[in-house]
Structure 1
Amino acid sequence: MNFYYTDLHIHIGRTKSGRAVKITGAKSLTFSNIIAHARDQKGLHIIGIIDCHSPEVIMEMEELMERGELEQLEDGGLRYGGLTIIPGSELEIYDESCQGPIHVLSFFPSLPILKEFSNWLSGHLKNIHLSSQRIYVSGRELQRKTKELQGIFIPAHVFTPYKSLYGKGVQQTLAEVLDPELIDAVELGLSSDTYMADGIKELHSYTFVSDSDAHSLGKIAREYQTIQMQEPTFSELKKALANEDGRRITANYGLDPLLGKYHQTVCEKCLDPFDPAAGQCENCGHGKYVKGVADRIAELSEAEGSAPERPPYIYQIPLEFIPGLGPKLKEKLLNHFGTEMAILHDVSFEHLQEVVPLKIAELIAAARIGELKLHAGGGGKYGKVAQKDKDK
């Protein structure tokens, strides 16, 4: 068995021609740029590229295949220069059974099957060219279509206050909207972790994935996992999500939930911490708030029932969160050590301080063992790493 760094949720911002796909995504997030950055700078082995249902993205993949640069793998997935790509689509469900909109991910093993899915989608979307579009079928029907096409179905960032399964979509249970038997894994999102999510008993039977939901190249691999499997293919990934034949996720790497944009409940207006019992913000007097992931999970959690044995969830502080580590220093690190995976996991403290100032090397080393002080995020604002000499 081998181990592979995997991030399954990366958006396409623009097509090769410049047409928007994920409107809120960076223009530099093209199919080819994503591949180069994920492989050469981040050091990933497998990526899920969302929004591949867009016709111009499909055309770009076909062109790469014609040039021999992109290869269809026999066991599913696409290979480009040593990197495996799992093509997928993020869609929004909001049928009569939903309390609010829900984002979900569907992945497919081959380009012909992806094209078949795209053709089917075009009859149920207002704009097939854009990402995260509302699909005008039920969640269960989308699940059945995904499975009919040999796909993988994963509810996305399931706790975020907006457009997620537990954030707005259901009152208590996922069975209100989805068929529990047709879910392959559950994506946690940036503001939660394994230990928080396992408070919800109905999630105990699912594998948890931690993905970046990247809207820019720099955000790729801010969350990821290591997966043990024979080869980096679609069929092996499917087995790993099902914990079959020794294939499995061996570790989840993600932000400490405090760094997530929606971890704590905050005032809708000033983003200060908000106590709903008080009725108004202590800072500005505003009466509305954005409920944090921590409080939402607490509402749904059950006191009884032990959690299943899980792979470790390792708090990973991406380089972009390290105070004082700007683009030039980051580029210097990458030039010396190759990839962000190498810097975060393998490079010794002694070697780090040969390249960057001692203070930066100490922060990176402290991040590895969870010794950084963090300020919680909420209401759409990321948490941050405290600078020891400024934030006490």
Structure 2
Amino acid sequence: MLINADLHTHSCFSAATSKDMVISNIAPKSREKGLNLVGTGDAFHPKWLDIIEESTDYKGDGIYSHKDCDFVLTTEVEAKHKIHHLIILPNIEVARELSHKLVSSNKYIDGRPRSPLSGAELLELVKEYDCMIGPAHAFTPWTGMYKTYDSIYDCYGKKPDFVELGLSADTDMADTVKELSDFVFLTNSDAHSPWPHRLGREFNQIEMKDISYSSLQKALKHKDVKANYGLLPNLGKYHMTACTNCYKIIDPEIAKSNNMKCSCGGRIKKGVDFRISEIADYKNAKHPSFRPPYVHLMPLAEIISMIYDKGITTKTVQRTWQRLIDSFGPEIDVLINTQLEDISKIDDKIALGIEGFRNKTLDVVPGGGGKYGEIHFSERIDEPKPKSEKILTLDNF
């Protein structure tokens, strides 16, 4: 069976995360997105584990269910060198025992615990309990594994179970790195809120015998991910090298020559695009035979928001989003499968926006420095095209 799985989210106990990230909110929104299996996030936080136990029915083999949405225990740990690691766990008993064993100064405060362990030490610890582990958003400049290491084996000492690409990368970028040709790639949302433009914005379509921990474990081991769904990578907020203060996109060589300081006084952060180019072995991607297609998505709420020039969380955008979901089913189907003429019966402009998304007739202002990229549709939606963001060079820095 094909399962749509988003395996990296956070709970209300993580820093900078919505108080609405609780099971009773995550479950229905996940189903509306078209997800079958969702990572709980924050599985080393004792109070979050209590909530999971109280809010779900245990179906066995690591699966906790709430109103037709299945959950598997996951957590993100910030370990040595501030590198983030994604861990998938077999059950609550293991989560509690590992939480007790993990050396961390903040595990009872923050859903994402900090630990002095190295990647290799963390791998050895969780493997004692049959957990799965891999780098979270592997290429991002603040907390990705490759911001510190040039090789994944330098971090873990041996092969981890997967590599999570992150919002600012896709398989075309990652498969320029030779050592990753034997890894299964995961694309997950890293959602901090249940809003429809966050939860499930990236997910994996996985062939599984059933929805269970052991089936997921076998699927990742045998590379049975059949499709990765995710954002256009230049929409990610760390895709390009840019200033973290004014968000100007800056040529990486110029940034380095100025000691990563912007003319505004802000700090420049190396982008995922440039970081991958530094460690790449190939100019163009060389996909292994098992590598599935990468399907670029854009959250439906963002399409609606841009068309009507209203905030994503406004009543207008959310009502329109809900109407489309109620009419045609999960968001994934609305974006990819629903006939445009059917959508136009509800809203002509939305139909044109989705058509532009499907046809890739979009103007993209890339993200960087902590600011998400922006998409603008063509003139046929009666909106003026923005001027493209210029990359700063020696002449205009």
State the TM-score bracket (shorter-chain normalisation). 0.7 to 0.9
Q: Distance in 2 between matches of 1:369 and 1:186?
A: 29
Partners of 1:145 and 1:34 lie apart in 2 by 29
- TM-score w.r.t. the length of structure 2 is 0.86
SS in 2 for 1:374: strand
Matched with 1:343 is 334
- Counterparts in 2 of 1:19-98, with a 5 A limit? 21-39=13-31, 41-64=32-55, 69-73=56-60, 75-94=61-80
| 1:370 to 2:385 alignment | no
Counterpart in the other structure of 1:11 = 10
* 1:249 counterpart (225, 247, 253): 225
Match of 2:218, SS state, is helix
SS at match of 2:229: strand
The one-letter code sitting in structure 2 at the alignment partner of 1:110 is N
CA distance in 1, matches of 2:41, 2:75: 5
Shift of 1:284: 4.5
Residue equivalent to 1:232: 211
> If the length of structure 1 is used for normalisation, what is the TM-score?
0.87
Whichever residue aligns with residue 115 of structure 1, its letter is R
What one-letter code is carried by the residue in structure 1 that aligns with 2:249?
A: P
Gaps of 5+ in 1: 14-20, 95-99
Check 1:287–1:6 CA distance in 2 against 1; reply closer, same or farther (3 A cut): closer
State the secondary structure of the residue aligned to 1:324.
Answer: helix
Q: Deviations over 1:143-173 (max 9, x none)?
A: 1121111111121001111011012x22x11
Q: Choose from 94, 113, 123 the match for 1:113.
A: 94
Q: 1:294 aligns to what?
A: 273
SS of the residue 2:7 aligns to: strand
Query: Per the alignment, in what secondary structure is the counterpart of residue 87 of structure 2?
Result: strand
Identify the residue that residue 380 of structure 1 maps to in structure 2: 370
Query: Partners in 2 of 1:283 and 1:85 — Cα distance?
Result: 43
C-alpha distance 295-146 of structure 1, shift in aligned 2 (>3 A): same
In the alignment, structure 2 segments of 5+ residues that lack a partner are: 309-316, 387-397
- Report SS of the residue matched to 1:321: helix
Partners in 1 of 2:333 and 2:322 — Cα distance? 14
Shift of 1:288: 4.7
Matched, 1:220 2:199: yes
Show CA shifts across 1:109-151 (max 9, x none). 1122222222222x44433341222113232221112111111
Q: What is the deviation of 1:324?
A: 2.2
Q: Which amino acid aligns with 2:299?
A: P
Greater mean alpha carbon deviation, residues 85-94 or residues 381-390? 381-390
2:306 matched to 1:327? Answer: no
2:164 matched to 1:198? no
| Cα distance in structure 2, aligned partners of 1:106 and 1:174 | 16
CA distance in 1, matches of 2:29, 2:252: 43
Report the counterpart of residue 313 of structure 2 in structure 1: none
The worse-fitting range, judged by mean Cα deviation, of 207-216 and 328-337 is 328-337
Superposed CA offset, 1:7-48 (max 9, x none):
0011102xxxxxxx1120011111322122212x21210111
RMSD: 2.2
The residue that corresponds to 1:176 in the other structure is 154
- Three-state SS of the structure 2 residue aligned to 1:373 is strand
Per-residue Cα deviation, 1:212-235 (whole angstroms, up to 9, x for no partner):
000111210100111111111111
